[in-house]
Amino acid sequence: MLTVSRVTTDIMTTITDILGDGLDDDIEITEDSALTDIGLNSLMLARVIVSLEQDFERDPFSDGSHAIVDIHTVGDLIAAYTEVKPHDD
């Protein structure tokens, strides 16, 4: 089972990896960080979501329980992955 702590750590790591050298040294990523403020654009967000779907084997956006347009902060992304129901296979 995914814990909030694991989801938070994995999301922060994934965002940091995708931003790479584009991440300003003065910026600290927190749950309150707006995705645009940390330099994450829509293509990068898509890459984050694909990576997280592979890691967690879940997609909180495919069942309609969450909408990507409602994701504005790191905390919004964490909430989407911690509130999603496991998919049925």
For the stretch 66-82, pLDDT in tens is 999 999 999 999 999 99
- Residue 71 maps to a domain: yes
| 10: three-class secondary structure by DSSP | helix
Q: Is residue 27 part of a domain?
A: no
* Number of domains within the chain: 1
The answer as to whether 60 is a domain residue is yes
Residue 88 inside a domain? The answer is no
Domain assignment present for residue 30? The answer is no
In a domain, 46, yes or no: yes
Length of the chain: 89
User: Residue 27 has what DSSP assignment?
Assistant: P
**Does residue 68 lie within any of the structural domains?**
yes
Does residue 17 fall inside a structural domain?
yes
Convert the pLDDT of each residue in 20-65 to its tens digit: 877 777 888 999 999 999 999 999 999 999 999 999 988 899 978 8
Instruction: Give CA angle at 59 (19, 76), nearest 5°.
Output: 55
Cβ 82 vs Cβ 7: under 8 Å: yes
Which residue has tokens 């994995």? 10
Q: Which amino acid is at 54?
A: Q
**pTM score of the predicted model:** 0.84
Residue-range definition of the domain harbouring residue 18:
2-22+36-83
- What SS3 class is residue 73? strand
Whole-angstrom distance, CA of residue 49 vs CA of residue 76: 12
